[in-house]
């Protein structure tokens, strides 16, 4: 079967219809994500392993730089880059859905070609928010804990969990972090799959993504919470759980996008 082609026509906001989604759609999307993972397990594990390896590298680098106290904030913020890493998974689901050939060459080629499209600009948005997350952690560390240094993750956790200043840092940092995660989720949950699928301009894609969240706020924020909790839980066993969890969530996000957004031909 010949490969399906993406339209070269410019997609505008007027061509995009945002549909209301329900909790039943979430269950269906998650079920479809599991089915896609089962249909192409090797590819899913490959992209999941890359993501897990990235997390392990970040922790290792911080440890080598004697910045062990940054491990927890970096690990918590690491899932923020998940939507961009999942581009390959979106392409796998797109091909399975369209019945087009599913080959390593085809999937990787689309990922490489994406750097020439608007998808590449989303990488800057995602990484910028991740940088802001790490920077604001540094600010709250300075405000609540001064400029003291920590020799280990254990010492950092002991200070955060057993002192009033540490608890203040934990509460404020968590609240601000939740705000960052909500903003980035709203900007990317639909925009990155849409950019891969139809390649509108980045502003149109982000507006459509935010509109999707506003159209079904409880359902979409519940999905964001599910994604966040599962990713954090998957990181606990040395990031290894991400090898399976990331591809399932990536595939599921594609199917949720297909239910939430309709683009006129």
**Which residues, in sequence order, are CB contacts of 182 under 8 Å at separation 6+?**
221, 224
**CA 145 – CA 115 distance, rounded (Å):** 41
**Which residues, in sequence order, are CB contacts of 48 under 8 Å at separation 6+?**
242, 243, 244, 245, 246, 247
Quote the Cα angle for 143-145-147, to 5°: 90
- The residue-averaged pLDDT of 150-177 equals 82
Is 21 within the bounds of a domain? no
Is 3 within the bounds of a domain? no
Whole-Å CA distances, 73 to 92, 154, 163, 242: 31, 14, 18, 18
pLDDT tens track for 93-146:
999 999 988 999 888 887 777 666 777 777 778 778 777 877 888 888 888 888
Can you give the residue range of the structural domain that contains 167?
Answer: 32-263
Is 23 within the bounds of a domain? no
**Which residues, in sequence order, are CB contacts of 194 under 8 Å at separation 6+?**
16, 200, 205, 208, 209, 257, 261, 263
| Per-residue pLDDT at 226 | 92
Number of domains observed in the structure of the chain: 1
Is 20 within the bounds of a domain? no
């Amino acid at each position: 079967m010949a490969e399906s082609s993406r339209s070269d026509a410019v997609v505008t906001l007027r061509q995009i219809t945002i549909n209301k989604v329900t909790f039943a759609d979430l269950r269906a999307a998650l079920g479809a994500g599991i089915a896609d993972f089962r249909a192409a397990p090797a590819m899913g594990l490959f992209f999941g392993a890359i993501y897990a390896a990235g997390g392990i590298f970040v922790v290792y680098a911080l440890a080598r730089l004697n910045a062990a106290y940054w491990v927890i904030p970096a690990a918590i913020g690491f899932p923020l880059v998940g939507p961009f890493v999942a581009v390959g998974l979106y392409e796998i689901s797109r091909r399975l859905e369209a019945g087009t050939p599913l080959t390593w060459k085809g999937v990787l080629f689309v990922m490489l070609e994406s750097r020439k499209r608007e998808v590449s600009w989303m990488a800057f948005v995602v990484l910028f928010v991740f940088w802001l997350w790490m920077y604001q952690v540094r600010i709250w560390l300075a405000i609540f804990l001064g400029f003291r240094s920590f020799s280990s993750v254990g010492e950092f956790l002991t200070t955060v969990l057993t002192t009033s200043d540490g608890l203040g840092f934990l509460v404020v940092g968590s609240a601000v972090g939740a705000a960052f995660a909500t903003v980035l989720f709203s900007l990317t949950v639909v925009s990155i799959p849409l950019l891969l699928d139809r390649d509108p301009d980045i502003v149109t894609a982000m507006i459509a993504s935010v509109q999707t969240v506003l159209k079904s706020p409880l359902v979409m924020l519940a999905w964001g919470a599910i994604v966040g909790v599962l990713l954090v839980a998957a990181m606990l066993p040395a990031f290894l759980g991400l090898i399976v969890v990331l591809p399932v969530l990536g595939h599921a996000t594609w199917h949720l996008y297909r239910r939430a957004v309709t683009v006129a031909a």
